[in-house]
Amino acid sequence: MSLIEIAPRMVRLAAVALLTTALTTALIGGVSGCATLASDTRPESTHTPVAGMPKPPPVPVAGMPKPSNSPVIGTSKPTHVPVVGTSKPTIAARAPGDVVSAGTSLRKGQLAYKLADGSFVVVDKSQPLPDAVQSVILTEIQTIQTKWDRATSGTESGNLGVALGRVRLRENAATGKRIVMIFFTKNDAPRPGGYWNIGPMPANIDLRTQQSWTRASAIGYAREFVAIQKNSEIFSIIISG
């Protein structure tokens, strides 16, 4: 075989050898890359995570409970428990006749009675009326009593009796008491020369207890009436004359 025939054949062989080498290198590189990628998925991989990418969830360890964000059922919020037995503010003790201002808190059964000068005094329905309050009621009785003495007809006297009854009802409400009035009537038909009137009294009371010849008997009748009442302490007898 001549040199001219051998040269082309050698070139072909060299090209085949180069191609074989390149394919072998590429194959080895591919296998190595696959091995590297496979190693990244192992738990002990030490590759640094890429910034901005979420961290992979931790791999649970066998036997350890999984963390849970679920709320605990049955857990109640703390509540403020009211203090049992807390007492109300104490109201200062007031005695009948004490001067107080309007709106003063008083104990049960007590009222603030307004006098003509605008001041207030304490009255207690279970205690005797203060002198200042008795004076006010007595003046009202005497004003009507004077008109009654000057009455010229039975109708006029009757109207004054009604007016006196209204005074009694008004003072009952203002004091919390039940007022019994005793006063002398000069000019009235039943007894010539006048008599002592006890009233206003309940209609079912014997008339003899409402019209007496003497002051002493009138007071005696009134006291007997009060004494037989269940709540006698709330009555107050006021005598004019």
pLDDT at residue 174 is higher than 60: yes
Domain-located, residue 189: yes
pLDDT tier at 63 (50, 70, 90 boundaries)? low
Euclidean distance between CA atoms 211 and 217, whole angstroms = 9
Q: Is 64 among the domain residues?
A: no
Higher local confidence (pLDDT), 96 or 213: 96
Higher local confidence (pLDDT), 45 or 74: 74
- The full DSSP string for 59-89 is PPPTTSPPP--PPPTTPPPP--PPPTTPPPP
Site of tokens 């003046």:
139
What confidence category does residue 175 fall into, taking pLDDT thresholds of 50, 70 and 90? very high
* 53 belongs to a structural domain: no
Q: How far apart are CA 84 and CA 97, in angstroms?
A: 37
141, 183 in Cβ contact below 8 A? yes
How confident is residue 39, by pLDDT bands cut at 50, 70 and 90? very low
Q: Residue 61: its pLDDT value, please?
A: 58
Residue 185 · residue 149 · CB < 8 Å: yes
* Domain coverage including residue 141: 129-240
Q: Are 171 and 144 in contact (CB under 8 A)?
A: no
Higher pLDDT, 3 or 132: 132
Domain annotation covers residue 171 = yes
pTM of the model: 0.60
Does the pLDDT at position 44 exceed 60? no
Region 64-82: what's the mean pLDDT?
A: 57
Helices in the chain by DSSP H: which ranges?
3-40, 131-149, 154-175, 215-227
101, pLDDT greater than 60: yes
Average pLDDT (68-72) is: 56
Q: Is residue 102 part of a domain?
A: no
In a domain, 187, yes or no: yes
Q: What single-letter DSSP state applies at residue 9?
A: H
Banded pLDDT at 106 (limits 50, 70, 90): very high
As a whole number, mean pLDDT of residues 214-225 equals 88
Mean residue pLDDT of the chain comes to 75
C-alpha dist (Å) from residue 20 to 9, 28, 196, 203: 17, 12, 154, 144
**130, HSE (Cβ side, Cα atoms, 13 Å):** 21
Residue 206 pLDDT > 60? no
Most confident of 90-94, 108-112, 147-151: 108-112
Average pLDDT over residues 152-180: 89
Domain presence at residue 224: yes
Does residue 23 belong to any structural domain of this protein?
A: no
* Distance, CA of 143 to chain centre: 47
Looking at residue 91, what is its pLDDT?
78
- Least confident among 30-44, 48-62, 203-217: 30-44
Mean per-residue pLDDT for 78-92? 63
Query: Residue 209: which pLDDT band, with cuts at 50, 70 and 90?
Result: low
Total count of domains within the chain: 1
CB 148 within 8 A of CB 187: yes
- With pLDDT > 70 as the criterion, what percentage of the chain qualifies? 56
Task: Look at residue 81 in the predicted model and tell me its pLDDT.
Answer: 58
